[in-house]
Amino acid sequence: MLLPIIGLEIHVRLKTKSKIFCACPNVPEDTPINTAICPVCTGQPGALPAVNDQAIRLGVRTGLALGCTIPNTAHFDRKNYFYPDLPKGYQISQYDFPICINGMMMIEDRRIGITRAHLEEDAAKNIHDGGSGKTLVDFNRAGNPLLEIVTEPDFRSPAEAKLFLQELQAILRAIGASDADMEKGYMRCDANVSLLEIDENGQRLGSGLNPKIEIKNLNSFRAVERALMYEIERQRGVYEKGEIPQGATRGWDENKGETFEQRLKETSADYRYFPEPDLPPLDLTSIREEEKDLPELPSEKRFRFMDEYGFSAEDAKFFVSDEAWSAFAEQVMSELKEWKEMKHPAKLAGGWMTSKYTGLLAQKHLSLSDSKITPENFAELLKLIDDGLINSANAQKLLALMIDTGSDPSHLLEEHHLGQNEDPEVLTKTVAMIIQQNEDQVKQVKAGKLGVIKWFVGGVMKATEGRANPEKAEAEVRKQLGV
Ligand code: ADP
Ligand code: ZN
Ligand code: MG
């Protein structure tokens, strides 16, 4: 059997005000080209870098959130290579003394080791101009602060790798280290994958790992998952021919859904790393201390949502994956605290938020923040449902009206006649009318087909436009039919 072995290298753009080695602003991709540049980030001779303290702090914070050790000292190194988007001929990065080492993250019940995380500068961006056939360079991105996070080869499936990236994104956002949008290039991923031969008992055949393929520059969660799935199958094919794939770097073609060969793998020796002579070593002892109080992390928040409110693991996961939803859910639950008589508030609230409310929003192509519903009104709707004043079908109609108008549910309930009709006389008359009009079905019930009772209840609900209480309607039907 062949077992996938996967490790990730993730570049995260840190959310600093300025670039990592100069005072130019750290601007978004849509900024007019070459408007956030200076002699340092364009690599002019004689220009000297100076370290941005905020970049180090955010890097250290991320390391702490990932359970890393922050060494007392670290330093920068030059990674030498030529490319038109790198006019200095080297990138300032960190080689043997990074700011974070030996961390880990739990993905469900699996431990994923974090080898290291180091700071480096981003390169400029080449723009291939179809009109002139020329390649132009935009330096706005050059010198933006990146944190490269490297994991151990601990993933065993593309799905695990994707879950890890989603959790990492949530952590980076929670601690304010990065917006971490993959679409905007604030988080980019290189995925490494090889296959390992194991026997039926999961024991390795042979020693060590096989050479890995590195898939470069994946820019969405989906691309990471798809590219890995494709590459695993491709490598499987190579093994089936009796060969072992050799280590290489491949690209990902999103449209074709295929990886393609780029170059054979370079090694660190190719880069001739050496310590950056223009920057002093970093003393991390005080920063490590000052950054150690982190805000609540997503894993802690999920646990609290289950523990404090009683949400299911699945609902907690949904809420915590989105800042707006988790704030909304917390406010709804704090409103519900006052209504002590509600038996399973988290079950009712969780179900109505994660399925019915999200479903209606999706239908209307709205996000939570577009909706006019306040947490107070949502909690009130739940109370109406819990008190049996409205049935589920009508509560959904009411919810749709609330999204559009933002009005309070009790008011809408009256205005649109959506409440359960509790008038026993109306129920008695309605049931009598339906029984009178449907002799065949009455005969069936009398002949012992008790399932037909539900058919009568359906009729009552229809005749009352959903306003009857189904349990009371069934009791009345049974009473009048004498069964
Ligand atoms: P390199 O020196 O080629 O950069 P590293 O040992 O630094 O290789 O690993 C880079 C990434 O590749 C890490 O995320 C690591 O987990 C992963 N990796 C290393 N070896 C393998 C392998 N045999 N199969 C899959 N992934 C691997
Ligand atoms: Zn600059
Ligand atoms: Mg490496």
The CATH number of whichever domain residue 456 belongs to comes to 1.10.10.410
Alpha-carbon distance 65 to 383, whole Å?
A: 39
Residues 445 and 466 in one domain: yes
pLDDT of residue 202: 83
Going from the Cα of 58 to the center of ligand 3, the distance in angstroms, rounded, reads 22
pLDDT of residue 467: 76
Residues 473 and 382 in one domain: no
Residues 126 and 240 in one domain: yes
Q: What are phi and psi for residue 311, nearest 5 degrees?
A: -65, 150
Nearest CA to ligand 1 atom 3: 267
Confidence tier at 180 by pLDDT (50, 70, 90) = very high
Last residue of a domain, one of 392, 415, 438: 415
pLDDT of residue 267: 73
pLDDT, one tens digit per residue, over 191-249 is 999 999 998 888 888 788 999 999 999 999 999 999 999 999 999 999 999 998 888 99
Last residue of a domain, one of 357, 384, 415: 415
Choose the weakest-confidence range: 8-22, 143-157, 192-206, 301-315.
Answer: 192-206
Confidence tier at 422 by pLDDT (50, 70, 90) = low
Ligand approaching nearest to the C-alpha of 266: 1
Choose the weakest-confidence range: 26-35, 209-218, 258-267.
Answer: 258-267
pLDDT of residue 263: 73
Residues 398 and 447 in one domain: no
Residues 319 and 237 in one domain: no
Going from the Cα of 144 to the center of ligand 3, the distance in angstroms, rounded, reads 21
Predicted confidence (pLDDT) at residue 331 exceeds the cutoff of 80: yes
pLDDT of residue 205: 82
SS3 294: coil
Angle between helices 424-437 and 470-481 (to 10 degrees): 50
Element (H, E) at 230: helix 221-240
Alpha-carbon distance 19 to 347, whole Å?
A: 47
Q: Which residues lie with the beta carbon below 6 Å from any ligand 1 atom? A: 5-9, 150-153, 192-194, 209-210, 212, 268
93: nearest Cα among 327, 273, 332: 273
Residues 199 and 77 in one domain: yes
Mean pLDDT of the chain: 93
pLDDT of residue 209: 93
Helix ranges (H only) for 281-353 are: 285-290, 298-304, 313-320, 323-336, 345-351
Q: Which of 11, 192, 246 to mutate to test the pocket of ligand 1 (most atoms within 8 A of CB)?
A: 192
pLDDT of residue 311: 97
Going from the Cα of 102 to the center of ligand 3, the distance in angstroms, rounded, reads 15
Alpha-carbon distance 253 to 259, whole Å?
A: 6
Last residue of a domain, one of 244, 267, 291: 291
Going from the Cα of 151 to the center of ligand 1, the distance in angstroms, rounded, reads 8
> What whole-number percentage of the chain has pLDDT above 70?
99
Alpha-carbon distance 164 to 7, whole Å?
A: 11
CA-based R_g, the chain, Å: 31
pLDDT of residue 418: 80
As given in the structure block, the two tokens for residue 160 are 């695990």
Residues 196 and 331 in one domain: no
| Beta carbons of 55 and 89 less than 8 angstroms apart | no
Confidence tier at 483 by pLDDT (50, 70, 90) = confident
Residues 79 and 194 in one domain: yes
Collect all residues with Cβ–Cβ distance below 8 Å to 10 and sequence separation of at least 6: 148, 149, 150, 151, 165, 168, 187, 188, 189, 190
pLDDT of residue 233: 97
Q: Which of 8, 9, 212, 235 to mutate to test the pocket of ligand 1 (most atoms within 8 A of CB)?
A: 212
Give the structural domain span for 472.
424-481
Residues 190 and 328 in one domain: no
Nearest CA to ligand 1 atom 1: 267
> What whole-number percentage of the chain has pLDDT above 90?
76
- Other beta carbons less than 10 A from residue 114's beta carbon: 24
Domain count, the chain: 3
Going from the Cα of 267 to the center of ligand 3, the distance in angstroms, rounded, reads 8
CA distances from 419 to 154, 379, 402 (A): 55, 17, 15
Ligand approaching nearest to the C-alpha of 194: 1
pLDDT of residue 316: 97
Residue 9 CA: nearest ligand 1 atom is 14
Confidence tier at 265 by pLDDT (50, 70, 90) = low
Predicted confidence (pLDDT) at residue 419 exceeds the cutoff of 90: no
Residues 7 and 124 in one domain: yes
Going from the Cα of 27 to the center of ligand 3, the distance in angstroms, rounded, reads 28
Residues 125 and 223 in one domain: yes
pLDDT of residue 117: 98
pLDDT, one tens digit per residue, over 87-116 is 999 999 999 999 999 999 999 899 999 999
Residues 254 and 313 in one domain: no
Residue 193 CA: nearest ligand 1 atom is 25
Alpha-carbon distance 451 to 326, whole Å?
A: 43
Q: What are phi and psi for residue 353, nearest 5 degrees?
A: -75, -50
132-136 mean pLDDT: 92
